[in-house]
């Protein structure tokens, strides 16, 4: 049976949203081949995470068992996306099927992300297309991209990170651990040339926030988590903003959208705003200003190895085309 215009629009829109979000340069994007799934892509940083999805539109609840079986039995995907028509029959059937997986394959079920689309969606209506696109953009960015591509980072994490009273030091610690690891407190304090007590306090804060992990519940030898890497990447792009290098006109709409979801309204802080330690007019009540203060201070100190932007990676078809030309 031929796919409906709604089915085609929803599958293509999911990919377009993830592709557009990669313009934030927080991760790379490559569209995958559509073989077993209605859509798939590869999100890349220093890792590769495959996102695959199915779209349910015309078949009500009849195809849900097959769709979820196809998605959840695939071991190589980091996120299984299901876009479905919002009908009571479909929701009831989905609940039945997921209850079975909750008992038998709970880890696979944790990868599932379901996005419901209004049942009266009409792909031939421009207003309807715009509404559904905006709906999916908000939900996919919050519930998929922040969780998968950005390690589950939240606005609360960012606020707690920014509230440190030692501007720049949390970034220095994350950067150091990413590059050289964390052998012990004294060795790291000496390498960073910081007070031992200050280092221990800030490292424990990063561990509690979830930006550092350790094999021991009490800490010790730390490593940077996915959300910690995301925080470094975000701060690196904020550094670009402060230096006027974020993009054309120092703007990046996709990065700005992600930052807003994390409570970071960086365009509200002029690049000329006083941010460094010792500036008398610093705004210490605004979480965004505090985060930018960390970035500005670490930049001036020259103590952070700032991650480069992640640009889109060419697809295999594009590589083949360029090689033939």
pLDDT tens digits in sequence order for the chain, 325 residues long: 568 999 999 999 999 999 999 999 999 999 987 778 999 999 998 889 999 999 998 766 668 888 888 888 888 899 999 999 998 888 888 898 888 888 888 888 889 999 999 999 999 999 999 999 999 999 999 999 999 999 999 999 999 999 999 999 999 999 999 999 887 889 999 999 999 999 999 999 999 999 999 877 655 689 999 999 999 999 999 999 999 999 899 999 999 999 999 999 999 999 999 898 877 677 778 999 999 999 999 999 998 999 999 875 444 444 344 444 4
Domain boundary among the residues 130, 148, 166 is at 148
| pLDDT score for 315 | 43
Domain match, 174 and 126 both = no
Whether residue 216 is contained in a domain is answered as: yes
Same domain membership, residue 131 and residue 23 = yes
Pair (101, 171) in one structural domain: no
* Structural domain contains residue 207: yes
Answer whether 6's CB lies under 8 Å from 120's CB: no
pLDDT at site 59: 66
160 and 269 both lie in a single domain: yes
**In what side-by-side order are the strands of the sheet with 28-31?**
28-31, 39-44, 48-56, 77-86, 112-118
Question: What CATH number did the domain enclosing 230 receive?
Answer: 1.10.10
- Domain assignment present for residue 17? The answer is yes
Q: Give the whole-angstrom CA distance, residue 325 versus residue 173.
A: 47
What is the per-residue pLDDT for 144? Answer: 92
Q: Is residue 118 part of a domain?
A: yes
Nearest CA-CA partner of 29 in 234, 310, 246: 310
Q: Specify burial of residue 325 (Cβ count, 10 A radius: 0-12, 13-18, 19+).
A: exposed
Residues 160 and 230 in one domain: yes
Indicate if 199 and 134 belong to the same structural domain: no
> Same domain, yes or no, for 139 and 205?
no
- What residues contact residue 125 under an 8 Å CB cut-off, 6+ apart? none
Give me the residue label for tokens 């479905």: 84
Same domain, 133 and 14: yes
Residue where one domain finishes, among candidates 99, 115, 148: 148
Which of the listed residues 112, 133, 148 is the one where a domain comes to its end?
148
Domain that holds residue 225: 155-301
Query: Could you tell me if 160 and 248 lie in one domain?
Result: yes
In this prediction, residue 2 carries a pLDDT of 67
First to last CA, the chain: 37
Residues 168 and 139 in one domain: no
Cα separation, 213 vs 33, in Å, equals: 35
Question: Does residue 80 belong to any structural domain of this protein?
Answer: yes
The answer to whether position 307 is within a domain reads no
Q: What is the pLDDT of residue 163?
A: 95
Residues 33 and 99 in one domain: yes
Q: What is the DSSP string of 70-111?
A: HHHT-TTEEEEEEEEEE-HHHHHHHHHHHHHHHHH-HHHHTT
pTM assigned to the model: 0.89
Distance CA 245, CA 185 (A): 35
* 218 Cβ contact partners less than 8 Å away, ≥ 6 residues apart: none
In a domain, 195, yes or no: yes
Residues 206, 81 share a domain = no
- Please tell me the predicted confidence (pLDDT) of residue 97: 86
* Domain tally, the chain: 2
Cα angle: 269, vertex 270, 272; to 5 degrees: 130
- CA dist 283 and 39 (Å) reads 45
**Rounded to whole angstroms, how far apart are CA atoms 253 and 127?**
22
Is 280 contained in some domain?
Answer: yes
3-class state of residue 314 by DSSP: coil
């Amino acid at each position: 049976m031929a796919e409906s215009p709604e089915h085609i629009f929803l599958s293509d829109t999911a990919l377009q949203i993830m592709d557009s979000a990669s313009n934030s340069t927080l991760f790379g994007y490559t569209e995958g081949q559509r073989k077993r799934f209605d859509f798939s892509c590869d999100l890349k940083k220093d890792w590769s995470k495959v996102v695959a999805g199915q779209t349910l539109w015309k078949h009500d609840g009849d195809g849900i068992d097959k769709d979820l079986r196809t998605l959840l039995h695939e071991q190589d995907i980091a996120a299984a996306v299901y876009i479905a028509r919002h009908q009571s029959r479909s929701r009831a059937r989905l609940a039945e099927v997921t209850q079975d997986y909750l008992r038998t394959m709970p880890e696979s079920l944790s990868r599932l992300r379901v996005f419901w689309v209004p049942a009266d969606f009409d792909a031939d209506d421009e207003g309807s297309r715009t509404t559904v696109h905006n709906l999916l953009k908000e939900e996919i960015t919050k519930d998929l991209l922040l969780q998968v591509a950005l390690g589950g980072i939240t606005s609360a994490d960012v606020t707690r990170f920014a509230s440190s009273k030692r501007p720049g030091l949390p970034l220095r610690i994350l950067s150091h651990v990413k590059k050289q690891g964390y052998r012990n407190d004294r060795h790291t304090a000496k390498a960073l040339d910081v007070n031992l007590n200050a280092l221990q306090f800030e490292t424990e804060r990063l561990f509690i926030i979830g930006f550092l992990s350790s094999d021991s519940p009490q800490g010790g030898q730390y490593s940077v988590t996915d959300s910690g890497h995301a925080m470094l990447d975000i701060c690196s792009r904020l550094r670009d903003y402060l230096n006027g290098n974020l993009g054309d006109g120092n703007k990046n709409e996709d990065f700005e959208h992600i930052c807003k979801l994390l409570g970071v309204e960086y365009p509200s802080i002029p690049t000329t705003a006083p941010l460094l330690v010792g500036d008398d007019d610093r705004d210490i009540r605004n979480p965004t200003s505090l985060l930018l203060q960390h970035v500005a201070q670490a930049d001036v100190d020259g103590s952070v190895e700032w991650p480069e932007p992640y640009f889109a990676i060419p697809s295999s078809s594009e590589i083949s085309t360029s090689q033939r030309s």
